[in-house]
Structure 1
Amino acid sequence: MKKLIYRKLLKDYMNFFLIALFSSSLIIWVFQAVNFLDIMIEDGREYTVYINYSLLNFPKIISRLFPFVLFFSIFYILSRYELNNELMIFWNFGENKIKFTNFILFVSLFMFMIQILFTSIIVPSSQDKARSFLRDSEVNFLGNFVKPKRFNDTIDGVTIYAENKDVNGNLYNLYIKKEMLDEFEITYANKGRFEQNQGIPILILYNGETIRNKDNKITNFKFSKSDFLLRNLKANTITQQKNQEMKTTDVIVCVASIYNLKLKIISKKIDEIINCTENNKINMLKELYKRLIVPFYIPVLMLIPYFLILSSKEKKNYSKLKIITFLTGIITIILSEGVIRFLSIEYFRNLLIFLTPIIFFLFLYLMFLIKLKFKS
């Protein structure tokens, strides 16, 4: 009978948690996808790049919402159980409150492993994959990103300015600057329009002049019609791998190098890690904290709502206990994210910050045991 009760409790937890997590993540993802759409249109990207890039950002949203939704789910289910007198069933069957708490701690270890999997493997991999779509994609919808009365530098090495643009896509009073290794080219034209010639984008210019600087020699020529080829264009976006896109093993190796620690289990050398520079090592520490330390707050956040079982709805202090419990959970979430600002090169300070969730958990669990044994 007790197994059936625990099974029902776990089912209620997980059902509410999964529904809340995916629904809230989906709402945020939709808003984010709208912003990505504006960026893709301005950059002239293909719709396939937009879809892949948007979808690959979904795991990051899930991992960010995971702690709060998990805490809120347990808090809500326990409150509902107490309101419907369902917790009384547990106590009437002689269930020990400490065993009842240990049950959720066992579940918290499983949820902790899931969050570690997300933060250390799934999210960095998906973020790097999303960035690779931007690195490897070309600018295709050229007519979209040229906005009138703006210097459009979406294309790497090319700046285009147009004074006006009509409904047919014709551009008027154009200024184009193309920069190459040790030379540049400036073109003025009265009119221009984008066309495709055998799949190659071309900007056809009418009535203008081109000034070219090559080897410190300036040449110019006028034209009534000229084709400005736009072959193999890359967008002027960040292509270097960001910290959040690095492999977790690379982050660990970089952080270990700060304190001259040698990791025999990881064969990769620090010289092979691009972002592991002297100025970026603090950011590597922060990245390691977000990936491997913040998930340790999961057991803490799952334990905090269980302080509700120390009282019952019939007692006067129950409403106050609910408020204090909820605020404690919110403060813990804020603490887990905010303490990252205090990370530094100092070893003992970082060690204390890294051990904070474990210390906090042991303190809460010990206080919980003392209160239950005192009551019994």
Structure 2
Amino acid sequence: MKKILYRKFLADCFVFFIISLVSTSVIIWIIQAVNYLDIVIYEGRDYSVYLNYALLSFPKIVSKILPFAFFFSFTTVIARYELKNELIIFWNFGVNKINFVNFFLFVSFILFFIQIFLTSFVVPSTQNLSKSIVRTSDYNFVDNFIKIKKFNAAVKNLTIYTENKDKDGNYNNIYIKKNTGEDNFQITYAKKGIFKINNGNTVLELYDGENINLNKGNLTNFSFSKSEFNLSIFSSDTILYPKTQEHKTSDLVECILNLTDKSVKDRNKIRDRIHNCETKNLDNIIVELFKRINIPLYIPTLMLLSLLLIIYSKEKINYSRFRIIVFLIGFSLIVLSEASLRFVGNSFIKNLFIFLVPILISIFLYFYFIYKFNFKSPSK
């Protein structure tokens, strides 16, 4: 009978948890996916690139929402069971409260490892893959490079402006500035232009214009009746190398060990493999590791916090207030877990304290349960 009760309670918690997690993540994903439309609108990428990029952002959203959805779900279900007098069934069938706590603490550790897997492996991989798709994609919708009466600088070292576009697809009064080096540039003006495919490359065919070049202080110019401007040789402002949060966890650990080992003199090899593995970026690397490992440590803490609701009966006058206080403390812990990252740095003592905070809170809560359930005086 006890197994049936545990199975029913766990099923209710996880169904509510999955619904909360997925629904909230989908809403946030849809909002972010709208912002990602810039990949198509301003950079001229293919819609398949946009779709893949948007879908690969979903694991990151799930990992961010998971702690809150977990705490909210378990707190809600426990309170609902208490309000419907269903928790009494557990106690009447001889379920020991401390065993009840131990069981769900074990469940929280399973979720902890799932969250570690998400933050340490799945999210970095999907983030790196999504950026790689953008970095290696072509500009299939080149018309999006040009915005009517707007200076478009989506392409690196290139700014394009046009006055209007007629019904035949011709752009009128086109201005193009291409940066060719430090204090060097090329300015092209044409009365008309149109996109065409020439030998597999996308070119902007220009008519009746003038080209001005500034090279090492020397200014030259020439006029043309027809000219081709090849856009395929340019890249967008998308970062060409993986960011810190896109590297594998093992690479970040290796980088920290390499940077903190004073006996290592030549660090060029690891820099070639792990971009941004530099002393000036050490703080960011440590913060990223804390984000992946330390924040999931709050999941067992949140579980113990939600289980505080089994201590007090709904018959007590202050039960509703106690439930609100528990929820506010849990929400504060979630905010604390994110805010604590701002204090992570090169100080070992400070980092150790931040790392131990969720562990110490969990130990305190667990011993509080032991005190309440095993050493409770008969008068209470």
**Could you say which TM-score interval applies, normalised by the shorter chain?**
over 0.9
For the residue of structure 1 that corresponds to 2:313, the secondary structure is coil
- Answering whether residue 231 of structure 2 is matched by residue 234 of structure 1, we say no
Deviations 1:348-370 (A, max 9, x none): 11111111111111011111221
Residue matched to 1:4? 4
Contact preservation (8 Å) 2:74, 2:303: yes
Matches of 1:129 and 1:167, distance apart in 2: 39
What is the RMSD computed on CA atoms of the aligned residues? 2.1
The aligned runs of 1:283-298 (5 Å cut-off) are 283-298=284-299
Matches for 1:143-292 after TM superposition, within 5 Å = 143-180=143-180, 184-197=185-198, 199-213=200-214, 218-257=219-258, 259-260=260-261, 269=270, 272-292=273-293
Structure 1 residue 232: Cα displacement = 4.2
**Paired amino acid for 1:253:** E
* Contact map agreement 2:178 2:187 (CA 8 A) in 1: yes
Q: Please list the CA deviations of residues 17-42 of structure 1 after superposition, one character each: whole Å capped at 9, or x if unmatched.
A: 11111111111111111110134211
Paired amino acid for 2:274: I
The one-letter code sitting in structure 1 at the alignment partner of 2:132 is S
- Cross-structure match for 1:71: 71
Q: CA separation in 1, counterparts of 2:98 and 2:175?
A: 75
* The 10-residue stretch of structure 1 (118-127 or 3-12) with the greater mean CA deviation from structure 2: 3-12
1:91 aligns with 2:91: yes
CA distance in 1, matches of 2:260, 2:127: 28
SS of residue paired to 2:42: helix
Q: Residue deviations 1:239-289, cap 9 Å, x none?
A: 221111011012112333454399xxxxx9577432121211111111010
Question: 1:139, 1:235 within 8 Å by CA — same for their partners in 2?
Answer: no
Which residue does 2:266 correspond to in 1?
A: none
Task: Say whether residues 1:123 and 2:119 are aligned partners.
Answer: no
Contact kept in structure 2, 1:137 and 1:234, CA below 8 Å: no
Alignment check: 8 A CA contact 1:304 1:325 kept: yes
Instruction: Report the Cα distance in structure 2 between the residues aligned to 1:317 and 1:214, rounded to whole angstroms.
Output: 79
Change (3 A) 1:215 1:307: closer
Equivalenced residues, count: 371
The Cα of 1:326 is off from its aligned counterpart by 0.4
Length-normalised TM-score, structure 1? 0.93
- Matched residues in 2 for 1:311 and 1:231: separation? 68
1:96 CA displacement = 0.7
Call closer, same or farther: CA 1:227–1:273 in 2, change over 3 Å: closer
* 8 A Cα contact 2:176 2:187, kept in partner: yes
3-state secondary structure, aligned to 1:281: helix
Q: Does 1:303 align with 2:343?
A: no
Matches within 5 A, 1:41-80: 41-80=41-80
1:106 aligns with 2:103: no
CA distance in 2, matches of 1:136, 1:232: 13
Counterpart code for 2:231: L
For 1:159, give the aligned amino acid.
Answer: T
Corresponding residue number in structure 1 for 2:329: 328
Deviation of residue 331 (structure 1)?
0.7
Structure 1 Cα separation of the partners of residues 84 and 200 of structure 2: 67
SS at match of 2:294: helix
* Equivalence for 2:356: 355
Q: Match for residue 265 of structure 1?
A: none
Matched, 1:30 2:49: no
Runs of 4+ residues deviating >6 angstroms: none
Over the matched positions of the two proteins, sequence identity in percent amounts to: 51
| In 2: Cα distance, 1:330 partner to 1:235 partner | 40
Could you tell me which runs of 5 or more consecutive residues in structure 2 were left unpaired when the two chains were aligned.
Answer: 264-268
CA distance in structure 1 between the aligned counterparts of 2:138 and 2:272, rounded to whole angstroms? 31
